[in-house]
Chains A and B, each alone.
Chain A
Amino acid sequence: MSEEKLSGAELVVRSLEYMNISTIFGLPGGAILPAYDPLYDSPIRHILARHEQGSGHMAEGYAQATGELGVVIATSGPGATNLITPLTNALMDSTPLLAITGQVASEAIGNDAFQEAYTVGLTMAATKHNYLITNAEEIPQILLEARHIATTGRPGPVLVDIPKDILNQKVEWIEPKLVDLPGYKPTLEPNPKMINQAADLIKKSEKPILYVGGGIIHSKANEELFELATKFQIPVVTTLMGRGAFPDGNELCFEMPGMHGNYTATTSIQKSDLLIAIGVRFDDRVTANPKFFAQNAKVIHADIDPAEIGKIREPEVPIVGDAKSVITGLIERLEGSDLKTTDWINELNQMKKDYPLSYIQEEKGPLKVPFVLEELQKLSDEDAIVVSGVGQHQMWISQHWNFTQPNTWLNSGGLGTMGYSLPAAIGAQAAYPDRQILALDGDGCFQMTCQELITASTENIPIKIVVFNNGNHGMVRQWQKIFYKNRFSASELTHHTPDYVALAESMGATGLRMIEKSDVKKVFEKMLEINDKPVLVECIVDPEDMVFPMVPAGGSNDVVILNEDDLKKL
C-alpha cells in the first residue's frame, strides 16, 4: 500500500503509464489542465493537435494502423463536443479508442458553467460506453475498464469524463483489479454446432464467396483467412474496411464489391449460391437494396457482435464469435473436403477479363487519379500505409491500389468523415516513425483539417500528403451530374482556392505540384525522398472524371453502371 497521496490528475497519467500507453493525442484547456501538469514529467509522448477533431482522428489513425488502443485527451465543453465526430467515426468503424475529457467541477455540473457541456449525454450514442468519474479513487479501475471495453469484443470508443475537482482530489493509488463486468462478456468462441452447419453448407456449395470485412483485420485473422480461401479454393471479396485482409493480386481475390466496387466482385455475390460473410455488417454501400442482394445465396454470417446478425439479412447459419476462431473452426471441419469450385473461379476470372476497371490517361490530357495512384504505388514501399479522405479519391484508391497486408489501408468507411486523412496519417506515423505514411486526400477533405499540417511539422512527423485537386467536392459533383441535371449547387471550390504549395511551405512542410503526366514520376520520387519533414504534393486532376462502376443508392446490384454511357440504364 502506497502511503503517498496522488492527485486524480496524477492517477490519470500513472494509469496510462500502467497500461503501457506510449503516445497520446490532445489539446489542453481549463478543466483538463490538472492532467497536463503531471503529463509534463511523463515519458508518454503527447502530440499537440490544433483542433480536437484532429486529435481524435490522430488517435484513430494510430489505432487503425497498430490494431491497438488510441488515446485522446481533451478539455470540457467545446473540447469534448469537437471529439464527437471522431468518436462516432470510431464507433462506426469499430476502432478502439479511449477519450479522456475534463469536466467542470462536480458542484458546478448542471449549472451551465463556463465550458460546460453534458459530455456523457452528448457522447452516449457516439461511444461503446462512457463514464463520469465521481471519486478520484475510481480512476485507475475505470480507465482499465475503459480500455478493456474499447479493445475487446467488437472494438469501439470509450469516453471517461473527469470533473476538475476530481482531478485535483488527493487519494491513494489503488491497484486496479482484473476487469469483470457482469453485463459485458463478449462471445469469442463460436458454437461448434453452428460451425458444423456452416461447414456442411460450404461442402455442398458450388458457388461460394467469402465476403469479408473489417472484422478480419480487428481479429488479426488474415492468415487464417488465407488458409481457408486457398486450401478450399473459395473466392474472396473484401469490403472497404476489409481491404488488405486478403492480398490483392491473389487469383482468388476479387477485391471490393458494392456501390463503387468492381463489376466482378459485385456480380459474384449476385451469382453466388453461398455467402460466407465474416466480420461484415451488410452495409448499404455493399448491398444496395438488400431485397435484391444475393437473392440466390444462402448466408452464413459470422460476427463478434450478435446485433449485426440478422440486422439486415437473416442468415441460414448465424455464428457469434471472433473471426479468427470461426475461421479456424471452419478449416478444421472442412479438412479433407474437396470443393468443386474450379468452374466458378474460372467464371469469375473470365468476368474480370471482360469487365476490367479502366481509365484513360491521355498523354497531354488532365491527370486522372487512378493513373497517378498506380504510378505512386510503383514507387512506394510494400508496407506503406495509405490513409484516405472520403469521396471519389477514396473509391479510386480502394479500386486501384493493391493492398497486400492488413492495417495498411486507413479510411473512414462507415461515417464517411471528410477531413480524416491528414490527422489519421499523423497518428499512423506516430506509431510507425520509419514507415511510409501516405495521406491521399481530396481538396475538399483537406480543407477540413489542414491546420494539422502544422502539428506534423512541429512534431517531426514526415507524412507524405497528396491533395488531389479537382477544385470540387468531386463526389457531390458526380451525383449532381447524374441525379441533378448538372446543377452544381455549392460543390465548386474554385472561386477562391488555396495555393496548396504555399500553404504547405507556410506550415513548415515541403510543397510540390504536379499538373501533367510527365510530372508524376519525378515529383513522387522527390516526395518520397523527403523524410525529415512533411511533404505535400498538389496534384491537379480532371474535375469531370467520375467513379465507375456505380450502383446508385437503393438500386439493385444486378444493374451495375460501368461507365458514363451506361448511365442511360438509369
Chain B
Amino acid sequence: MSERILSVLVEDKPGVLARVASTISRRGFNINSLAVGPTNIQGRSKMTIVTELESVEQVKKQLNKLINVIKIVELDPENTIESEVLLLKVSINKDTQTSVIEKASLSGAKSVDVGSDYAVFEMTGASKDLDKLENLLKPFGIIEMIRGGRIAIQTKL
C-alpha cells in the first residue's frame, strides 16, 4: 500500500486537532501517522498526516472544508525529507549491556540513560530506520517505546 504525506497548515486555536481527528474518524479514513507542532508563523501550527494513496484525495478535500485548515500540501514523495523521533527503554544485564549499546549506536541511536538493568535510547530519523532499531532490540526485551509521529518537509520549492 502506497503512502502519501500531507502537510497541513492550521490555525493555532483550541479544538483544531479535535476537528481534524473528528473528520478523519467520521469519514473512516486510514491514518498511519499524525504529528502536530508549532511553525515559524505566529498563530499557525503544522500537522503532518500520513495516509494511504487511495484515500488521499478525499482526506485533502474533507480536511479543506474545515474552516481552521488554511492550506494542505501533498508532499512529492521523490523530494521529501521525513523524520521521526523515538525513545526506547530496553532491558539489559551484565552480559547484554555492551552488545545492546553497540547495536543501538551502530543503528544511529544515542544512549541517553543507562542503569544497571535498563538503557534508554533516543533516535531521530526515517521511520524505517526506527523500525530497524526496534527489531534489533526486541530480543533483549523492550520495556517501553514511544514514537513522536512522522514529520516531513519538501526539499524543493
Contact = CB atoms under 8 A, between A and B. Distances in A.
**Bound pair: A and B?**
yes
Given A124-B19, A310-B57, A183 B68 contact: yes
A310 B11 CA distance: 27
Contact of B67 (A129, A305, A306): A129
B65 A149 contact: no
A307 interface: yes
Interface in A264-315: 305-307, 309-311
Interface string B58-80: 10011011111111000000000
Contacts of A306: 61, 64
Nearest to B43: A182
A183 B58 contact: no
> Which of under 10, 10 to 19, 20 to 34, or 35 or more describes the interface residues of A?
10 to 19
Contact of A183 (B14, B23, B61, B66): B66
A311 B58 CA distance: 7
B128 interface: no
Given A182-B70, A183-B11, A307 B22 contact: no
B26 to A, nearest CB: 5
A124 B22 contact: yes
A183 B62 contact: no
B15 interface: yes
B1 interface: no
B67 A184 contact: yes
B62 A307 contact: yes
Contacts of A225: none
B18 interface: yes
A305 B65 contact: yes
A149 B61 contact: no
Contacts of B18: 121, 124
Contacts of B23: 125
Contacts of A129: 66-67
B15 A183 contact: no
A73 B15 CA distance: 23
A6 B16 CA distance: 31
A183 B26 contact: no
A311 B65 CA distance: 14
Contacts of B64: 306-307
Interface in B1-46: 10-11, 14-15, 18-19, 22-23, 26
Given A124-B18, A149-B67, A183-B67, 8 more contacts: A128-B65, A128-B67, A132-B14, A183-B66, A183-B68, A183-B71, A307-B58, A311-B58
Interface of A: 120-121, 124-125, 128-129, 132, 149, 181-184, 305-307, 309-311
